[in-house]
């Protein structure tokens, strides 16, 4: 573990050296997602101007949900965005072969190969929304709640990574995995709102099948003092199980990988 942490640090240093060669591009890339998020927030604002309460959830409470899922997504965006490129950038070109001839885990090498600075903007937006919501609602932050917030964000990020890994592994069979990953990834848009406003079937899907609810609705409910029972504490368990499953899927895909021959 220490060896891999040290290696990741070296990868990260080299990545930032590359990014700093074009500092204006780095700044633009880091902040561009803020404007993308602004469009989504504007949609929520317009909707809730007409409907001040979504099944008992106020605008600021919805911002807490939105902020948490954005923070979780930012973790995935910064540290695992390379999963999107497996098919067209590595498998199709034959570049994936170099991960197999080096004395480190191929998945680690893939993830460490590229830190995506675009995710910094998402992180800033998510943090700002949580702070804004907390201030507006007068939330009192105890040490336990701060630890819970950190755990919820990391667990949510792990859930995003695991789901992306499962779908991205399809590149070993389909070559082009982006459409598969996109279909599952885009369902997180539903998790930006309270799951209680949806049909029970959608709520179940976002809880047990594609569990983005543990990155947004359930931790937000706990922080806001809403009773969701044990569901508020299952995020790390769900994340750990999903990571284990995704890694097994990855290993199966890896066994089916064959070079392009070019």
Token pair in block for residue 205: 């899907």
* Mean pLDDT, residues 220-247: 97
Strand partners, 54: 57
Cβ atoms of 197 and 55 closer than 8 Å: yes
pLDDT of residue 51: 81
* Dist CA 37 CA 42 (whole Å): 9
pLDDT of residue 45: 86
Cβ atoms of 141 and 54 closer than 8 Å: no
pLDDT of residue 261: 53
Strongest mean pLDDT among 99-103, 121-125, 144-148, 252-256 = 144-148
pLDDT of residue 73: 96
Question: Is pLDDT at 251 greater than 90 in this prediction?
Answer: yes
* Mean pLDDT, residues 51-57: 86
* Mean pLDDT, residues 38-54: 83
- List, for residues 164-212, the tens digit of each pLDDT value: 999 999 999 988 889 999 999 999 999 999 999 999 999 999 999 999 9
In Å, how far from its chain's centre is CA 142? 26
- List, for residues 219-232, the tens digit of each pLDDT value: 999 999 999 999 99
* Dist CA 72 CA 56 (whole Å): 24
If you ran DSSP here, which 8-state letter would residue 88 be given? I
Token pair in block for residue 65: 């949900």
Question: Is pLDDT at 88 greater than 90 in this prediction?
Answer: no
Token pair in block for residue 120: 């910094």
* Dist CA 183 CA 4 (whole Å): 32
**Confidence band (pLDDT; 50, 70, 90) for 247?**
very high
pLDDT of residue 260: 60
Token pair in block for residue 140: 């009192």
- List, for residues 68-80, the tens digit of each pLDDT value: 999 999 999 999 9
Share of the chain above pLDDT 90, in %: 64
Tokens 């964000």 found at: 153
């Amino acid at each position: 573990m220490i060896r891999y942490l040290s290696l990741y640090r070296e990868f990260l240093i080299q990545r930032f050296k590359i990014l700093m060669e074009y500092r204006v591009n780095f700044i633009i890339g880091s902040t561009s997602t803020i404007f993308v998020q602004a469009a989504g927030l504007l949609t929520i604002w317009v909707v809730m101007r007409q409907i001040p309460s979504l099944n008992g959830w106020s605008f600021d409470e919805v911002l807490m949900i939105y902020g948490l899922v954005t923070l979780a997504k930012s973790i995935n965006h910064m540290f695992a965005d390379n999963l999107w490129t497996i098919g067209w950038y590595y498998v199709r070109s034959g570049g994936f072969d170099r991960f197999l001839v080096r004395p480190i885990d191929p998945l680690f090498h893939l993830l460490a190969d590229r830190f995506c600075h675009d995710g910094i903007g998402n992180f800033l937006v998510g943090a700002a929304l949580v702070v804004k919501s907390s201030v507006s609602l007068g939330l009192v932050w105890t040490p336990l709640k701060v630890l819970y917030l950190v755990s919820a964000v990391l667990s949510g990020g792990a859930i995003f990574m695991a789901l992306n890994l499962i779908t991205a592994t399809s590149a070993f069979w389909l070559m082009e995995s982006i459409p598969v990953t996109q279909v599952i990834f885009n369902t997180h848009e539903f998790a930006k709102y309270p799951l209680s406003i949806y049909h029970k079937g959608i709520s179940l899907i976002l809880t047990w099948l594609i569990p983005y609810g543990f990155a947004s609705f359930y931790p937000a409910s706990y922080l806001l003092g809403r009773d969701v029972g044990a569901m508020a504490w299952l995020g790390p368990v769900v994340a750990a199980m999903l990571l284990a499953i995704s890694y097994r899927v990855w290993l199966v895909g890896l066994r089916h990988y064959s070079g392009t021959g070019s």
